[in-house]
């Protein structure tokens, strides 16, 4: 059984059909790519999967449960979370605090339950801080821990965005163009960290325009064009697909 099953999803913006009966699956512990022309509907699909945009029709099933109408924060609590094309860090806060805020959001109810015990709150905060330090070390962000997030490079912001996601202890992450605006050296590092996360058991679905990098790390790809999935399979098979080649620059890739 798939970890995440998206079936026959349709989504409209006014009269425009951005997603037209889209189906896609991510298996437990799988690393999957999603490519497509500009405006194909990839980000919209992420938004429907994670609850930011309602599905017009179709279903989203996560870990065997129908979550089509479940709100964003409950999907996050179940372990399904996404990044955005443009990172959403708090630019005037430090890297460390950005990560702590993400962790506290997730732990909000638990912290509220501890309201009568200062000692218990301090212990919980220390536990979260320890987890933040672990994640920063994993992402090579430890040395910028006290920097303001707004001062980070594009690549470091993408790493921070992934760090904030990891504080949610997800089972499946949807990464929207993690390599966009990132210099080649940091792309290598990002690729390496994404593969390592996946090895540790987190399922990953990645939207990416950088086909060379994506094809290097994912065993399986989907391709979208004009609101539909037009191909899926190994990167070689998808990139050789005639429909995909026609969708991209009239067959030039």
Ligand X SMILES: Nc1ncnc2c1ncn2[C@@H]1O[C@H](COP(=O)(O)OP(=O)(O)OP(=O)(O)O)[C@@H](O)[C@H]1O
State the helix-helix crossing angle for 184-199 and 154-166, rounded to 10 degrees: 10
| Per-residue contact string for residues 33-52; x = within reach of ligand X by CB under 6 A | ---x-xxxxxxx--------
What's the closest the beta carbon of residue 41 comes to ligand X, in angstroms? Answer: 4
What's the closest the beta carbon of residue 85 comes to ligand X, in angstroms? Answer: 6
Q: Is 251 in the site for ligand X (CB under 6 A)?
A: no
What's the closest the beta carbon of residue 45 comes to ligand X, in angstroms? Answer: 7
CB closer to ligand X out of 46 and 62: 46
Q: Is 184 in the site for ligand X (CB under 6 A)?
A: no
CB closer to ligand X out of 8 and 134: 8
State the number of binding residues for ligand X (CB under 6 A): 10
Q: Is 18 in the site for ligand X (CB under 6 A)?
A: yes
What's the closest the beta carbon of residue 13 comes to ligand X, in angstroms? Answer: 3
CB closer to ligand X out of 39 and 251: 39
* Alpha-carbon span 23 to 10, nearest angstrom: 10
What's the closest the beta carbon of residue 39 comes to ligand X, in angstroms? Answer: 4
CB closer to ligand X out of 18 and 231: 18
What's the closest the beta carbon of residue 2 comes to ligand X, in angstroms? Answer: 22
CB closer to ligand X out of 166 and 173: 173
* Alpha-carbon span 2 to 216, nearest angstrom: 23
CB closer to ligand X out of 138 and 248: 248
* Alpha-carbon span 95 to 87, nearest angstrom: 13
What's the closest the beta carbon of residue 190 comes to ligand X, in angstroms? Answer: 18
CB closer to ligand X out of 102 and 175: 175
Closest CA to 176 of 108, 102, 81: 81
According to CB under 6 A, which one of 13, 57, 126, 196 is a site residue for ligand X? Answer: 13
Given the rule CB under 6 A, which residues bind ligand X?
13, 18, 36, 38-44
């Amino acid at each position: 059984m798939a970890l995440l099953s998206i079936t026959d999803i349709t989504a409209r913006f006014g009269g425009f059909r951005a997603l037209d009966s889209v189906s896609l699956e991510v298996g437990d512990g799988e690393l999957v790519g999603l490519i497509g022309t500009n405006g194909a509907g990839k980000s919209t699909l992420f938004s429907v999967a994670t609850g930011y945009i309602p599905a017009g029709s179709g279903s989203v099933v996560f870990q065997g449960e129908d979550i089509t109408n479940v709100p964003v924060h409950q999907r996050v609590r179940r372990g399904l979370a996404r990044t955005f094309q443009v990172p959403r860090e708090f630019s005037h806060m430090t890297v460390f605090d950005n990560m702590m805020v993400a962790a506290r959001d997730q732990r909000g109810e638990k912290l509220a339950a501890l309201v009568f015990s200062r000692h218990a709150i301090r212990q919980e905060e220390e536990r979260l801080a320890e987890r933040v330090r672990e994640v920063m070390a994993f992402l090579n962000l430890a040395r910028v821990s006290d920097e303001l997030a707004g001062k980070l490079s594009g690549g470091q912001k993408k790493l921070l965005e992934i760090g904030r996601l990891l504080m949610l202890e997800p089972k499946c992450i949807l990464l929207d163009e993690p390599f966009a605006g990132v210099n080649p050296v940091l792309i290598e590092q990002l690729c390496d960290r994404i593969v390592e996360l996946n090895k540790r058991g987190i399922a990953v679905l990645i939207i990416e325009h950088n086909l060379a990098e994506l094809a290097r790390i994912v065993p399986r790809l989907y391709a979208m064009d004009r609101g539909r999935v037009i191909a899926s399979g190994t990167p070689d098979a998808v990139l050789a697909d005639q429909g995909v080649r026609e969708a991209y620059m009239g067959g030039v890739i």
